[in-house]
Amino acid sequence: MYTPITDFNKSLLNATEVYIHHASQFLAMVGESYLEDQPDDSNTNISFDSESSSVQSRAVGDFQVKLNVPDWRLEVMNAGVLQNSYQLAGKLKDELFEWLKQEISTAGLDAEKLKYIDHYEVAEHEVDVGQPFQELNIDLVNSWLTMRTNANKILSDLNEIVGVNSDVRIWPHHFDTGTYYELGEKKAIGAGWAIADTLCDNPYLYIYGWDGNKKLDYSEVPDLAIGKWIVTEGWQGAVIESVELSASSDQYSATNSFMRDVVSFLKKQLA
């Protein structure tokens, strides 16, 4: 189900999302520490479950860790049953790590294998330099939950538009809810819902094409009813910023139309 995005304070939402991003690293480190390494690093990726309003690690047997975002706590699950939980507000990063080690040991796993992820970097945050996690504003949390629920919906729809099935996962490095479609040898379309970064100063939907054999030609891109093309040396593709989407009278249809127009153009480029 798609729920329209309402007006929001960009800077406050971005700050909230950064906290959720850093807290979610505890979920990614479960996959990093206990699952077999994958060439695309997918063993570290996580997911958002709209029914429980939680970000979830990959399962290690029956063991799984969740971040309950509205209640702002880590939850340890065994075969889908809650075993224990730990509030984040007021806790230091190292305190959360030690709690998780104890829970992993209780679950019968080797707690000494748990490690911080060090093969990618996340922009330094106050929790990295000895400050505790803060309580989150529930209105901002609800805005974030709406966006990620919508991201799951529209990116699942994108499977049908592209004609290829792809899991919708959160990649913990950039913290985007993303999908990736291989369309042939060294040809692909990628898409996702990203947090504010150097490309856009608020959350945004993006779609791009990739051809390992050549650069795509963006000299004659089609006009878009919503969203825009971005063609720079570092990135080429199309985006809809959430601030623009929130002003649309029919956000779901506008997003669907955007995805169809962009995918149609990219498929021709990749043919």
Whether residue 155 sits in one domain with residue 38: no
Whether residue 199 sits in one domain with residue 106: no
pTM of the model as a whole: 0.96
Nearest alpha carbon to residue 159 among 263, 261, 268: 263
Nearest alpha carbon to residue 67 among 89, 80, 85, 91: 85
Dist. CA 254–CA 257, nearest whole Å:
5
Q: Is residue 4 part of a domain?
A: no
User: Which SS3 state, helix, strand or coil, does residue 248 take?
Assistant: coil
Whether residue 149 sits in one domain with residue 88: no
Q: What is the pLDDT of residue 1?
A: 87
- The identity of residue 156, as a single letter, is S
Burial (CB count <10 Å: 0-12, 13-18, 19+), residue 268: exposed
Whether residue 109 sits in one domain with residue 201: no
Whether residue 174 sits in one domain with residue 151: yes
Dihedrals φ, ψ of 173, to 5°? -65, -60
Q: Extract the tokens encoding 13.
A: 């939402």
Whether residue 105 sits in one domain with residue 154: no
**Cα dihedral sign for 138, 226, 259, 254?**
positive
Q: Is residue 2 part of a domain?
A: no
Whether residue 68 sits in one domain with residue 18: yes
Dist. CA 35–CA 270, nearest whole Å:
34
Q: Is residue 1 part of a domain?
A: no
Q: Is residue 204 part of a domain?
A: yes
Whether residue 155 sits in one domain with residue 64: no
Whether residue 74 sits in one domain with residue 35: yes
Q: Which of 129, 153, 168 is the last residue of a domain?
A: 129
| CA 237 to mean position of chain CA atoms | 18
* Contact predicate 74/100, CB 8 Å: yes
Contacts 24+ apart (CB under 8 A), 56-63: 56/27, 57/27, 57/28, 57/30, 57/31, 58/30, 58/31, 60/30, 60/31, 60/34, 60/35, 60/109, 63/30, 63/104, 63/107, 63/109
The residue range of the domain holding 114 is: 10-129
User: Which SS3 state, helix, strand or coil, does residue 83 take?
Assistant: strand
Whether residue 178 sits in one domain with residue 235: yes
Please count the structural domains in the chain.
2
Whether residue 250 sits in one domain with residue 199: yes
Average pLDDT across each block of 10 residues of the chain; the chain has 271 residues. List them in order: 95 98 98 96 97 98 98 98 98 98 98 96 96 98 98 98 97 97 95 97 98 92 97 96 96 98 97 91
* Other beta carbons within 10 Å of 114: 20
- The identity of residue 119, as a single letter, is H
